[in-house]
Structure 1
Amino acid sequence: MRKPLLLAVLLSVTAMPAMANLQLAQKNNCTACHAVDRKLVGPSYKDVAARYAGDKGAEAKMAGKIKAGGSGVWGPVPMPPNPQISDADVKALAKWVLSQK
Structure 2
Amino acid sequence: MTEYQKMISSQPYNCMAPELAQLRREAARRYRRFNQAEEEAELRALLAELIGELAENAFICPPLYCTYGRHIELGKDSYINMGATLLDNAPFASAPM
> Shared fold (TM-score greater than 0.5)?
no
* Max Rg structure: 1
Q: Larger helix proportion, structure 1 or 2?
A: 1
Normalised to the residue count of structure 1, the TM-score between the two structures is 0.28
Q: Larger strand proportion, structure 1 or 2?
A: 2
Q: Larger relative CO (CA 8 A, sep 6+): 1 or 2? A: 1
